[in-house]
A and B are shown apart, each in its own frame.
Chain A
């Protein structure tokens, strides 16, 4: 399969630990934010989203935090599992169906 993210920042965590992946964005007009997970040979998989009128949103084992003051987004994964190993991208847009702008991506490596 293809190698996604050959030279991306890497976060290595022990299985069962919590993971925190960070993303800085530059457009203060951004209104909508999404986290995607991309495994080798696959397209980006939607994980969780958040709009700018919120600062926290929780899903199953995942939490997204948004700090608009410093233009920072984070993804927290609880009890990280080997299946969580992938490249994670944050993406943003200015609302509606405007184009998504993707961050650089972070490779998460889970150590069993």
Chain B
């Protein structure tokens, strides 16, 4: 049983570009949450998807958007990239009130 998988593992973009990150949840999980982790910090909640809709959102601008597909996989899109968007982007999946399991993350560098 594969755990949470994320792609790509690393990405380099320039300011102003847009990026799409992908996540496949753990088998049996229907909820996907995205987090941003800056160097030396704990993960910060971006948003959560359930039943293909954004259910909750953290304090992130509208440049951050997402999508969930019928197979529960999810995408995170970031438009108009800023240098400050450089971070590790983590996807976590869960089911009902169970634990959140994280993927290995996508390291985004904005130059």
Contact = CB atoms under 8 A, between A and B. Distances in A.
Interface of A: 2-8, 32, 34, 36, 41-46, 49, 89, 91, 95-105
B45 A7 contact: no
A43 B103 contact: yes
B105 A43 contact: yes
B90 interface: yes
Most buried by B among A42, A44, A103, A104: A44
Nearest to B58: A99
Given A43-B90, A89-B42, A105-B42, A97 B48 contact: yes
Interface stretch (B14-22, B62-70, B92-100): B92-100
B102 A97 contact: no
Interface residues of B, number: 31
Interface in B8-63: 31, 33, 35, 39-45, 48, 50, 55-56, 58
Contacts of A7: 40
B107 A34 contact: no
